[in-house]
Amino acid sequence: MAATTRSLREHGYADLTIEKIGDEFEKSQSLIYHHYDGKDDLVIATLEFVLDRYSEQVTAQSVEDPKHSLETVVTQFVDDDWESRLAATLFELRAQAIHDEAYREHFTRSDDVFEQYLADLIADGIERGVFKECDPNATAATLVTLINGATVRRASTRDDAWLEGVRSEIDAYLEARVYRDEE
């Protein structure tokens, strides 16, 4: 799994081969073929492993400040260059979902996990009186869509002059729909 992740970061999906994964693997490359039918089986297994770990981590941590936690997520996935490069690789993989049911199932589950985390965070903020009354599920879906769109654009264009304006609009959305007015 780690060798696959490293290879994806270095080569992207299009240039990924079992041989390149094997170069990153500490053991015999034949073990890869013994356990996986091909690169897509290994990539899907790696994506599932990473998603399960992410899900375990976010559900295990307690939220002290819902607003700070929400802002951290937006910053990680919209502003942070390292996270955007990682996300770009995920979106390259997401493109496989157009024609491959296994990828489609994974990314449907991935979006569901991420949206549920955000919806739970927003619901917690509403319950604590930190956030306004809003539909946590619709708000989370909107944020995931905005984050996904910003990540795809950042990964597939040459400049990010637009990024500051988009981030301002995300912040304006959160101010208008989610955050309570500071008193």
- What digits encode the pLDDT tens for the residues 122-148? 999 999 999 999 999 999 999 999 988
Backbone angles phi, psi at 24, to 5 degrees: -90, -10
**Token pair for 119:** 């919806």
**Token pair for 18:** 């079992």
Q: Which residue has the higher pLDDT, 160 or 170?
A: 170
Confidence bin at 117 (pLDDT 50/70/90): very high
Q: Which CATH fold topology does 63-183 show?
A: Tetracycline Repressor; domain 2 (1.10.357)
Q: State the pTM of this model.
A: 0.84
Confidence bin at 167 (pLDDT 50/70/90): very high
Closest to 145 measured CA to CA, from 179, 120, 170: 170
Q: Domain limits of the chain?
A: 1-61, 63-183
Residue 90 scores a pLDDT above 90: no
Confidence bin at 89 (pLDDT 50/70/90): confident
User: According to the model, what pLDDT value does residue 84 have?
Assistant: 57
Beta-bridge mates of residue 131:
179
Range scoring the smallest mean pLDDT among 13-27, 81-95, 104-118, 120-134: 81-95
User: According to the model, what pLDDT value does residue 183 have?
Assistant: 55
Residue 98 scores a pLDDT above 70: yes
| Three-class SS state of 131 | strand
Q: Which CATH fold topology does 1-61 show?
A: Arc Repressor Mutant, subunit A (1.10.10)
Closest to 87 measured CA to CA, from 161, 158, 1, 155: 155
Summarize pLDDT for 33-77 with one digit per residue, the tens. Answer: 778 888 899 999 999 998 999 889 887 878 899 999 999 988 887
User: According to the model, what pLDDT value does residue 180 have?
Assistant: 93
